[in-house]
A and B are shown apart, each in its own frame.
Chain A
Amino acid sequence: MKPSKMHTILRHAAAAAVLSSVAFAAPAADVAAGKAKADTVCAACHGKDGNTPIDPSYPKLAGQYRDYLERSLLDYKSGARKNAIMAGQVQPLSRADIENLAAYYASLPGSMRVKR
């Protein structure tokens, strides 16, 4: 194989690698948009700081894993998780809203930890 041909193949491979890493990277979530949505939709029950729910049966969200929060909201929306209150709350949320909310709450300082 001629060096120039090899060079072209390598360039294409490099381009493909870059493209696929973009395609598979987590979509950039907007933490500020998440906060704005959280303050209007979630804070009334889960607390302004996401760590002081108004009822002991409601979860703390602050500092929880982002992908878990996202999965929870998606499951409430699909019905894989059934809860009368949350079903109504997530219904108007878009996929982007859910990603932003998960990123926002995961970014907050919380009191949860992993206990071995």
Chain B
Amino acid sequence: MTRTRSPGPQSVPLSASLSVLVLASAFASGTAFAQGAAPVGNAEAGQAKASSCIGCHGIPGYKASFPNVYSVPMIAGQSAKYIESSLVAYRKGDRSHPTMRAIAGSLSDQDIADLAALYGSK
């Protein structure tokens, strides 16, 4: 192998290198965009994932007891997008409730979308 017969990177014209870079970054951002797109929720899949929810939210008048005593909210019929943003906020730590943080912390974006589809209204 000799340098003269097999051009190294230095011999590639600058404009071609730039094009490759531009294409690569466009592809990368396209991929990032695809990952950022919200997963589509499926209510049936949500039903299979709701076992952590029904123990509290499925009991009329059930009260959370820690760290404050108050009724756990009604979530069936709530805005689906709000259910999603609430679960994301618990997962991220923007909401402090310990039980909900633990549960939301175990949920993927797809899980959250499925639960929102199950409980929420459009």
Contacts and interface: CB of A to CB of B under 8 A. Distances in A.
Contacts of B75: 112, 115
Interface residues of B, number: 31
A59 interface: yes
A59 B89 CA distance: 14
Contacts, number: 82
A57 B82 contact: yes
B72 interface: yes
B77 A67 contact: no
Interface string A5-41: 0000000000000000000000000000000000000
Contacts of B57: 114-115
Contacts of B95: 75, 80-82
A116 B86 CA distance: 20
A112 B80 contact: no
Contact of B76 (A66, A68, A71, A114): A114
Contact of A115 (B76, B81, B122): B76
Contacts of B79: 53, 56-60
A34 B72 CA distance: 22
B85 interface: yes
Interface in B35-78: 54, 57-61, 63, 68, 70-78
B108 interface: no
B121 A115 contact: no
Contacts of A114: 57-60, 74, 76
A81 B96 contact: yes
B119 A64 contact: no
Interface of B: 54, 57-61, 63, 68, 70-82, 84-86, 89, 94-96, 119, 121-122
Given A57-B85, A59-B82, A114-B57, 6 more contacts: A53-B79, A60-B78, A65-B61, A83-B94, A114-B59, A114-B74
18 contacts: A55-B81, A56-B122, A59-B79, A59-B86, A65-B73, A66-B71, A68-B70, A75-B95, A83-B89, A83-B94, A110-B77, A112-B74, A112-B75, A112-B76, A113-B77, A114-B58, A114-B59, A115-B58
